[in-house]
């Protein structure tokens, strides 16, 4: 474990440095609030819809990611959406494999729906955060919890075993992710509980309105297309938008690009229409 943690900590520092690519939106107030023992941070813009809340679940292959890497992007999201965003620092593998991260999210979600029973809560996540959001919806449904008003996935990692075709067809186009790295870090998360941890294996009886955004140059492209088709069969308000020549999690890299601006506009419209 020591050797793994040494390597992981190097990757964590590099991933957190992405938060320095562009400055945060200074108009958004950021404050820490532990919820049920889980580190959480509120991003509050100057003007916001009091009836809407976004829970944000970060990416990082279930192993990386923190406020440091995401603060700038989430501040721009909050400003663009005119919505409060709760950023959750869930438990990371390999120190805390599945189901620790999902249990953290469930505790936070239960607390929020109790505190804000009339709020329209959107669950949003990128990469592994999209997978955790899908798992939250599955487990929340089994607990008969109030379902989120909507879900937004950006470049989601949903089929953890890596069996989709886009690993082959788009492998040379993706400068960020490799199958070997995903399978290595996925194994730290799933441990010996792959079927329980893999959202692609879940059977859903219901699902909230869903928006999926994905770049065409991602090896995870088919995760989005397959999950979109799966959920569309039961939830008519399911949408997917592809971004030509965009890479994995492009808003984290450049929030001011045309593709990022369009993504923010699409998400804002989706959140505004959730009920």
The 10s digit of each residue's pLDDT in 200-235 is 999 999 999 999 999 999 999 999 999 999 999 999
Task: List the chain residues with pLDDT less than 50.
Answer: none
Hey, what's the torsion of the CAs at 247, 11, 127, 196, to 10 degrees?
150
pLDDT of residue 93: 98
Could you tell me the sign of the dihedral formed by the alpha carbons of 78, 81, 86, 90, in that order?
negative
- Which tokens go with 244? 């030509």
- Which tokens go with 86? 């709760």
Report which DSSP code applies to 257: S
Longest Cα–Cα distance in the chain: 48
Residue 138, number of CB atoms within 10 A of its CB = 18
Q: Are strands 150-154 and 39-44 parallel, antiparallel or unpaired?
A: unpaired
pLDDT of residue 3: 86
- Which tokens go with 35? 């919820």
- pTM of this structure: 0.98
């Amino acid at each position: 474990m020591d050797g793994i943690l040494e390597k992981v900590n190097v990757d964590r520092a590099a991933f957190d440095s992405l938060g320095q690519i562009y400055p945060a939106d200074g108009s958004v107030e950021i404050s820490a609030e532990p919820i049920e023992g889980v580190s959480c941070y509120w991003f509050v813009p100057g003007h916001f819809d009091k009836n809407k809340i976004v829970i944000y679940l970060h990416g990082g292959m279930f192993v990386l990611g923190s406020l440091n890497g995401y603060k700038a992007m989430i501040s721009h999201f909050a400003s663009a959406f005119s919505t409060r965003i709760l950023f959750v620092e869930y438990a990371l593998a390999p120190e805390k494999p599945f189901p620790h991260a999902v249990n953290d999210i469930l505790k936070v979600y239960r607390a929020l729906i109790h505190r804000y029973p009339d709020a329209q809560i959107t669950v949003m996540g990128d990469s592994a955060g999209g997978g955790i959001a899908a798992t939250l919806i599955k487990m929340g449904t089994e607990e008969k919890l109030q379902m989120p008003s909507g879900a937004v996935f950006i470049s989601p990692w949903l089929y953890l075993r890596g069996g989709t075709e886009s690993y082959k067809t788009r492998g040379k186009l993706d400068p960020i992710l490799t199958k070997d790295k995903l399978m290595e870090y996925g194994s730290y998360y799933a441990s010996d509980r792959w079927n329980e941890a893999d959202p692609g294996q879940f059977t859903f009886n219901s699902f909230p309105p869903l928006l999926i955004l994905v770049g065409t140059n991602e090896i995870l492209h088919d995760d989005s297309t397959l999950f979109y088709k799966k959920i569309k069969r039961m939830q008519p308000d399911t949408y997917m938008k592809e971004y030509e020549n965009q890479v994995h999690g492009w808003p984290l890299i450049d929030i001011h690009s045309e593709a990022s601006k369009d993504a923010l506009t699409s998400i804002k419209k989706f959140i505004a229409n959730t009920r």
